Structure 1
Amino acid sequence: MIDQQSMAAVAKTALWTAAARARESNRPDRLFDDPFAGLLAGDEGRELLQHFHTDRAPDDGNPFIAIRTRWFDDFISQACAGAPAQVVALGAGLDTRWYRMPWSDGTTLFELDQASLLAYKVDRLRDVPVPGDAQRRIVPVAFDDSDGWVDALLAAGFDATCPTVWFGEGLLFYLPEQLAHRLLSRVAALSAPGSRLAVDLIGTGIFSFPYTREFLRRLQEANSPWRFGTDDPGGFVAGAGWQVDAVLEPGKPAADFGRWPAASTPPPSAIVPRSYFVSARR
């Protein structure tokens, strides 16, 4: 069992996003169903969801996380295409796709993140059955300049000669720009031809827009500051060695799922908050 002292190391933003997924799953028009998110979020996650969205009702909120989750779900389903696959979740955190997605027999999912966060998830969901013959391998790592995560992934059985489906949801903007670029470059170097990648990025406007200052301050207080944004997400990913397939913004076609308010779509300007979904291949 994970004790309360160990629980203190669980990232608050992970609990918050789990609560947002649970909230979405309770909607009659939900974009996905995550029956495990509420158990992971707990009371603290639900309180944090209100803390980070004080301007909205608890059952409403910004639709971004719901849209982002659905977009990544669709990407992973399409990239795996019902066949055995090698999949790597970068910054897996409290992601529950291992438990809720229909993985094909023979698939191996590697989950990379800080040890305490992964241990908390495994402990809370220890009684959840996973049907089929897929495998999950937990890889506790820190994403830093040492590149120790590469050695840990290889030691866990990752096959660099096999095409891989990589996804990093809600990860890169927590890293300094140089480290985010280094991470994607290392991932590219490990990727055999036919590999796929999905990540999300934020624009630089979020760091200067007055409306987001309080939100960013609360992230800083939670010891989970956003550090990096780019106004050329496609160029950033391509510069790390990837062939970019698509750059999408929430609210635009293929990235709204009927949920994004039309009035909330930002104008084409770098001085307002923007977010991006990027898919690429090797």
Structure 2
Amino acid sequence: MDELAEWDIVTGVGITALGVAAGRAMETHRDGGLVSDPYAEAFVEAAAPPAPMPTRLEDTDDREVPWRSMSDYMGVRSRYFDDYLGDTSRAGIGQVVLLAAGLDVRAYRLDWPDGTTVYELDAPKVLSFKDDVLAAQGAHPRADRRVVAVDLREDWPKVLQESGFERSVPSAWLAEGLLPFLPNVAKERLCRFVTDLSTPGSRFEVEHIDDVRGMMQEESSQRARDLFGVDIESLWPDDGPFDPAAWLADNGWNVGVERSADVAERFGRTLESPNGDSARSSMFITAVRV
């Protein structure tokens, strides 16, 4: 049976989406939080993960997993991408594609202009779990939300267009927490698909990590693996470097890059970087189709 079809919310890649939700829940409950996600805590409670995931900073034990650092990063990352999507809306872009949407609830928690369509692409079981929890919470989307259950390693543009996506009008794309799980050939394919589907004026936001393998060798990553019984490193392809910013710049996009450590400073936060080296922090790539 296909591997992706077997991913649920507490196994494989699915549990990483749940960990992200826990980070957003902690950020939501903290004073001065950068984002507010009213459903993140409900996802964690409904999933019953193999080891407890805190949803409030006061319940964390950083001796096992660096939850506070995760909360900081999820707050910074989520706020940055929220602002990006707000900018795209103000620019008049009315169709948004969330690649590997996971437990993203931006269709529910952001203020979208009338007529906005949000497409959520991810594994079937993850999306089904999300829909069940949101239904139990009585949640209602603020945009025309369209769920697209599809394997992003395959030819997903056809399924997206069958769901109503129009390639003739500008679109906004988000690849948050996705690229590390794709081999280089799939990363390039994804960039090419997005490029082919994007008319001039479209925007593409990508989270990129330079040294994925080095990050997985950090002690905190090893502790998380032992605690949750999921070897994330085994889910990440053993490929060489791939520079999405350079690829996009060479293929019809105007590209800007910011380090997450610099973004955090702008938001009044400090992020922990591997070995204390801010140059090893993740990058947020913003591209505009020309």
> Are 1:37 and 2:43 counterparts?
no
Separation in structure 2 between the aligned mates of residue 45 and residue 100 of structure 1, nearest angstrom: 28
Separation in structure 1 between the aligned mates of residue 218 and residue 270 of structure 2, nearest angstrom: 18
Among residues 204, 207, 214, which one is paired with 1:208 in the alignment?
A: 214
In the superposition, the TM-score normalised over structure 2's length comes to 0.80
CA RMSD of aligned residues (A): 3.1
Aligned to 1:251: 261
1:83 to partner: Cα distance = 4.1
In the superposition, the TM-score normalised over structure 1's length comes to 0.82
The 5-angstrom pairing of residues 223-262 of structure 1 reads 224=232, 225-227=235-237, 230=241, 232-239=243-250, 241-253=251-263, 256-261=266-271
Separation in structure 2 between the aligned mates of residue 210 and residue 263 of structure 1, nearest angstrom: 13
Among residues 69, 72, 84, which one is paired with 1:61 in the alignment?
A: 69
Aligned to 1:17: 20
Among residues 180, 187, 195, which one is paired with 2:194 in the alignment?
A: 187
Separation in structure 2 between the aligned mates of residue 86 and residue 213 of structure 1, nearest angstrom: 41
Aligned to 2:52: 47
Separation in structure 2 between the aligned mates of residue 262 and residue 119 of structure 1, nearest angstrom: 34
Contact 2:65 2:224 in 1 (8 A): no
The letter of the residue matching 2:79 is R
Among residues 152, 157, 161, which one is paired with 1:143 in the alignment?
A: 152
The 5-angstrom pairing of residues 106-145 of structure 1 reads 106-126=115-135, 127-131=138-142, 134-144=143-153
- The secondary structure found in structure 1 opposite 2:158 is helix
Separation in structure 1 between the aligned mates of residue 50 and residue 199 of structure 2, nearest angstrom: 38
Contact 1:113 1:141 in 2 (8 A): yes
Separation in structure 1 between the aligned mates of residue 114 and residue 44 of structure 2, nearest angstrom: 29
1:245 to partner: Cα distance = 3.0
Aligned to 2:3: none
> Matched residues, percent identical?
32
1:102 to partner: Cα distance = 0.6
CA-to-aligned-CA distance 1:52-106 (integer Å, 9 cap, x gap): 9645665x23422211111111111011117460110000010010110011110
Separation in structure 2 between the aligned mates of residue 279 and residue 84 of structure 1, nearest angstrom: 15
CA distance 1:75–1:214, shift in 2 (3 Å)? same
Contact 2:96 2:172 in 1 (8 A): yes
Contact 1:67 1:256 in 2 (8 A): no
Aligned to 2:203: 196
Aligned to 1:78: 87
How many pairs are equivalent?
267
Separation in structure 2 between the aligned mates of residue 45 and residue 94 of structure 1, nearest angstrom: 18
Bigger drift between 111-120 and 230-239 goes to 230-239
- The secondary structure found in structure 2 opposite 1:138 is strand
The letter of the residue matching 2:178 is L
Separation in structure 2 between the aligned mates of residue 125 and residue 154 of structure 1, nearest angstrom: 25
Q: Which has the higher helix share?
A: 2
Aligned to 2:4: none
Bigger drift between 102-111 and 36-45 goes to 36-45
Which consecutive residues of structure 1, in runs of 5 or more, have no partner in the other structure? Answer: none
Aligned to 1:172: 179
1:31 to partner: Cα distance = 0.4
- The secondary structure found in structure 1 opposite 2:199 is coil
The letter of the residue matching 2:166 is D
